[in-house]
Structure 1
Amino acid sequence: MFIFVLLFLLSCVYYVYFRRMRKPLYELSESLPNTGCLPIIGHTHWFLGGPEKVLKNIQQLASLVEDSGGISKVWIGPSLYIVSLNPDDVQKILENCLQKDSSYRFLQNWLGNGLFVAPVDLWKAHRRVLLSVFHNKIIDEYVDVFGEQGEVLVERLKEQINKPEFDVYKYITSCMLDIVFETAMGEKMDVQHNPDTPYLRARNAVMSIIGMRLFKAWMQPDVLFNLTPYSKQQKENIDLTHKFTDEVVRKKRMLHEKNGPEKNLGRRDLLQLLLDRETKFTDEELRDQVDSITIAGNDTTALVISYALLLLGCHQEEQEKVYAEVKGIFGDSSRHPTKADLNKMDHLERVIKETMRFYTVVPIIGRQTQKELKLSTCTVPAGVGCAVLPFAMHRSKRIWGPDADSFNPDRFLPEASAKRHPCSYIPFSYGARNCIGRHFGMIVMKSVLANVLRNYKITSSSCGRLKIEILLFPVSGHMITIEKR
């Protein structure tokens, strides 16, 4: 009996201590509008259910936040998040909070301390090196790779001419994997002709498990996750992807030590360029960086291209404008796009930008305050999570006007863009920790889309329902039909 009383008293003392230490959080929470917060569990119930339901709940939550002035709170169990849809506050968060939110830890077993998930101090050191590798002049050297793989894609799509609708994402993601493998690692994988490989199966399995874990509260504690069969499955598949990258890194390291940087003539892949830098990376660090580049560079870009085709299939007048533009550049030539060609594709670039607004493939950005941060209606203590919702911001009628739900590439004419707040449109995030591959992404999207659209006329129906699985996916796929131009 004494033991039970003692345990009860200790629990009471701990609870009082716990509440006292977190008093600033509770005071902050009480100062912000209530958006459906329940006792103890907070907003955890918003994140229960499948990926389609979770996305709908996030949209509903965003609507409540916007109605309450653009800034509010979300409690996920004992963790407090500040949610903002106000561009001024979003700018402060993304400029001042460089630490990724704790939810990104689910990616660390896979991507280690790669640029995407690295702690701030390590990220700063590595970012400086990687910026030189992702210099525009270096990325422009890969334009031939984009054109070659785009040509393979056009050839592969021939099997779908005048056939029933099909999911074009399967073709686009294979094309992008070939591009990313060749530019990041110098490996010609030929995924477009061999899409079902052990590496790709393992990669997709890991993405699926991490996506599931992010939005299932009971799967988030490691202690509970490790009791499930998913833990073993995730480890086996991560080990398989690491083995592949480790072999490439070892091979490149041996060649580099044998030949030296001065003998690496011609176009070099990003891994070679990292080996040439004065800052020396270990093999594990190189693997982390290359894996991060491969994962981040493929899925996001492939999704935007697929959504662009879907939207152009629904908006034939916009498709014809793009076709006229690329036809004017290439005529009847079947040559690959050059850098000069890509620079002329102004309307296509606006289509891509409007696609990224309409279907923001990274719907949520999570950061954590490292010091006190003053926002428009509150002051956030250190150690608090901040959630930015680009998907909701990009559809906000308050920011984009009453026609925010319509597809209009002319929103991105220079004179229109100049009038907007810099954080009203953040498909590549914003601030020092924005997407390092944004130039790579834009030119590869223009190159691949130009190749497809000058060869095929696209038809599609509405995208319909969406879901969140880390990234934004359509429930029924990117379904289109094609016919030869």
Structure 2
Amino acid sequence: MLLYLILVTVFLAFVWLCESLRRKNAFAKNLPMAQPLKSFLGVDYSIMDMSDEERFEIMNDCFARFDRLFVFYTGPLLVLGVSHPDLVQRLLSHPDCLEKPYFYDFVKFDQGIFSAKYKLWKGQRKALNPTFNLRILHSFMPIFNECSKKLVQKLKTLPNGATVNMFRYTSHCALEMVCGTTLGSDVLEREGKDEFLHSLEEVFAIISRRMLSVHLYSDLIYMMTPAYWREIQARKSLRDFAMKILQEKKEAALSRKMDGTDLDSDPETEEFKKPQIFIDQLLTISENSRSFTDEEIFCNVLVIMVAGNDTSGLAVAYACLFLAMFPHIQERVYAEIVEHFPNEEMEINADSLRPLEYTERVLKETLRHCPVAANIARENIRDIELDGVTIPAGTKFTVSFWALHRRADMWGPEVHAFDPDHFLPERCRDRNPNAYMPFSAGARSCIGGRYAMLSTKVMLIHILKNFKISTKLRFEDMRYKFGITLKMSTDQLVQLEKR
């Protein structure tokens, strides 16, 4: 009898769940669907068994086939796909679409701006915006230069003409940059830094795999996997290392305050000629305005380190690969660099970067083809209207910047070509301004976009001044894989010849 009651209860719960989903999803009945529900509860097991490269191609095919809103499913959950520039802009700038879906919770740095819930994020973002103003970013230039020079010295130890995986080197350089600007230039000299850096990579690799594995969304199932225990250990290593630095920084700030030598936060003071380390800025914010807890500081430091590392490291690696594929573009960039930086002694600062117009266009075209975050997700906290459809609160959206940047109606018939002239001023004037979003858009866009462009330019200049780059890879053969950030299915192999 008890078993019978249990079975009836489970059956009724299942019927109730199906009916609830049907009613909730009724608004989308007239929208095109990317694929039918092929199996129990809408889980398409053929997709679950696919490689990350195959998933990426299927996702892009869906966005290419549908011009505006369309429906696809992640397990039983309905998701709306968006890649039309006007719809993307409206969605990302809508005040009721600033929440991130539940799978961002897997990051578990939920006290930081990347995955924080809307109410917490709003206060943090307002307080953090000044820490990324231009004067502070310009103060990082010595760190960018120092790390780029170290990268060049490493590459010079390789045999002339050696084949290298460029991302391996640019990623390490970007990580040194972001460690220096976030925790201080001495962080990489500390005991335990190798374990810290390894743990940082490990945690986000595990998070990425979990986000792409629907069967691991359940905490109960995930806790029975080896990845869960590796993640726990790596997170402990991160916390121990970062919290020790935070405590030292707090003690130093207190000591300066007691000695009457507290840092002046006036933007016109001499202090801004020195690097304004991010963790120091957070402690200053805690004193002067919104108070950040130790946990919030820890989460924001870690998230910014990972984001800065992937963004700059990938952007430079892709730029080097594209320049290797198109030697005439590489030589034009090199000529522009040599014209403005004719010798090694010349200082690379923010002002000296401004005349590099062609180099800027090359980097923008690189990010058009390879936006670091090819897709992002949002969730609306209230009912909204988008493209004439009333969409109920709690609906998940996926925005494809990959598809947005490949719309022929925005970029013309040569949309798939690598052409820096796509960003000539006259072409930009005639194009929908929402057709290009390398760092997302709206209030919850990437806070470090300008940081990424500055660090990327400095690194690329140092590389091209010292090496001529070639590759055996062909542009038309490039393949990518599905992930939190856009990475190739193969290594970014190039050959480096000393100039």
Question: Does the TM-score normalized on the shorter chain lie above 0.5?
Answer: yes
Residues 425, 54 of structure 1: alpha-carbon distance in 2 compared, 3 angstrom cutoff:
same
SS in 2 for 1:423: helix
Match of residue 214, structure 1, among 211, 219, 222: 211
Residue 254 (1) aligns with residue 262 (2)? no
8 A Cα contact 1:99 1:119, kept in partner: yes
TM-score under structure 2 length normalisation: 0.91
The residue that corresponds to 1:425 in the other structure is 436
Q: Distance in 2 between matches of 1:423 and 1:294?
A: 28
List runs of 5+ in structure 1 lacking aligned partners: none
1:367-404 alpha-carbon deviations (Å, 9 max, x no partner): 00111121114221100101001112212323322221
Q: Distance in 2 between matches of 1:410 and 1:93?
A: 29
Q: Bigger CA drift: 396-405 or 214-223? A: 396-405
Residue 474 (1) aligns with residue 488 (2)? yes
List runs of 5+ in structure 2 lacking aligned partners: 264-270
8 A Cα contact 1:36 1:43, kept in partner: no
Report 1:248-397 matches (<5 A): 248-260=245-257, 262-264=261-263, 265=271, 266-277=274-285, 278=288, 279-397=290-408
Q: How many Å apart are 1:99 and its aligned residue?
A: 0.3
TM-score under structure 1 length normalisation: 0.93
Residues 430, 24 of structure 1: alpha-carbon distance in 2 compared, 3 angstrom cutoff:
farther
Moved over 4 A (4+): none
The residue that corresponds to 1:462 in the other structure is 474
SS in 1 for 2:142: helix
Q: Distance in 1 between matches of 2:128 and 2:370?
A: 28
RMSD over aligned Cα, in angstroms? Answer: 2.1
Q: Distance in 2 between matches of 1:11 and 1:144?
A: 63
Q: Distance in 2 between matches of 1:429 and 1:195?
A: 35
Corresponding letter in the other structure for 1:288: C
The residue that corresponds to 2:77 in the other structure is 79
Residues 164, 43 of structure 1: alpha-carbon distance in 2 compared, 3 angstrom cutoff:
farther
8 A Cα contact 1:161 1:481, kept in partner: no
Q: How many Å apart are 1:481 and its aligned residue?
A: 0.8
8 A Cα contact 1:44 1:217, kept in partner: no
Q: Distance in 2 between matches of 1:48 and 1:89?
A: 32
Q: How many Å apart are 1:477 and its aligned residue?
A: 1.2
Paired residues in the alignment total 478
SS in 1 for 2:337: helix
1:216-268 alpha-carbon deviations (Å, 9 max, x no partner): 22112111000111111111011111211111111101111111285335433
Corresponding letter in the other structure for 1:119: K
Q: Distance in 2 between matches of 1:257 and 1:195?
A: 25
1:290-347 alpha-carbon deviations (Å, 9 max, x no partner): 1111011111210011000000011111111111111110113433311111111111
Q: Distance in 1 between matches of 2:318 and 2:158?
A: 18
The residue that corresponds to 1:131 in the other structure is 129
Q: Distance in 2 between matches of 1:233 and 1:134?
A: 33
8 A Cα contact 1:161 1:484, kept in partner: no
SS in 1 for 2:29: helix
The residue that corresponds to 2:54 in the other structure is 53
Residues 267, 363 of structure 1: alpha-carbon distance in 2 compared, 3 angstrom cutoff:
closer
The residue that corresponds to 2:37 in the other structure is 38
Residues 24, 140 of structure 1: alpha-carbon distance in 2 compared, 3 angstrom cutoff:
farther
Q: Bigger CA drift: 169-178 or 182-191? A: 182-191
Q: How many Å apart are 1:19 and its aligned residue?
A: 4.2
The residue that corresponds to 2:267 in the other structure is none
The residue that corresponds to 2:268 in the other structure is none
8 A Cα contact 2:167 2:492, kept in partner: yes
The residue that corresponds to 1:105 in the other structure is 105
1:397-419 alpha-carbon deviations (Å, 9 max, x no partner): 23322221110111111221222
SS in 2 for 1:31: coil
